Amino acid sequence: MKFKSLIIAGAMALSLTPAAIAEENDPAALNDLEIAHVAYVADNIDIRYAHLALAISDNEAVREFANTMIRDHEAVNEQALALLAKLEVQPQDNFLSQNLQAGSEELINEMSQLRGAAFDMRYAENELGYHQAVNNLVENAFIPNIENAEVKALFEAGLEIFKVHEGHAEAMVASLAGEAEAADHGGHEGKGS
């Protein structure tokens, strides 16, 4: 099925192991409370990446993007927690949340070692890939399967915001690539202290 291959492509982009995308671990089969948990974990992962960017990067555009991620993903998480409290339910941990979390731990370790332009590009490219993969999951696996109307509305509103993030991430990657090229061309200039 077309959607299923899209979903599997998204899952693979999130570094899920082949076992994790077997039939019994189908993102489209998660219930509302599991989907809510995945979204909460995914939001918190992007917030962690953003804090890492603020700790390491001196690039103004990267820092501005990171601050936007913290602001927007915290706002979505607050709305999600308020809705779950109103519905008197708890989000449910599941294979996809766990895979996302494990993948992010590895990436945080890797990115923590980088500095300067190398960090900025790794962060920007990951933000682009991460938003593409999560948006694909939300649009094609989650929203069509969410049963509760209020939860679905929250995801639809979230997707709009995250698509804007995806566009910003794409522009950030292009801009950093342009800066890298300009630096290459100026590479024979003497460097000041």
Positions that interact with Fe ion (CB under 5 A): 46, 69, 165
Nearest distance from C-beta of residue 95 to Fe ion, angstroms: 23
Residue 20 or 172 with smaller CB distance to Fe ion: 172
| Amino acid identity for residue 77 in this structure | N
Type and span of the H or E element at 38: helix 32-56
Residue 46 or 120 with smaller CB distance to Fe ion: 46
**In the numeric block, which tokens belong to residue 107?**
């990436």
Residue 69 or 154 with smaller CB distance to Fe ion: 69
Q: How far apart are CA 153 and CA 147, in angstroms?
A: 11
Give the residue nearest to Fe ion (CB): 165
Nearest distance from C-beta of residue 162 to Fe ion, angstroms: 6
Name the 3-class secondary structure at 16.
coil
Residue 87 or 143 with smaller CB distance to Fe ion: 143
Nearest distance from C-beta of residue 77 to Fe ion, angstroms: 12
Q: How far apart are CA 121 and CA 112, in angstroms?
A: 13
Nearest distance from C-beta of residue 183 to Fe ion, angstroms: 27
Residue 4 or 48 with smaller CB distance to Fe ion: 48
Name the 3-class secondary structure at 71.
helix
Nearest distance from C-beta of residue 131 to Fe ion, angstroms: 6
Site of tokens 């945080």 = 108
Q: How far apart are CA 122 and CA 111, in angstroms?
A: 7
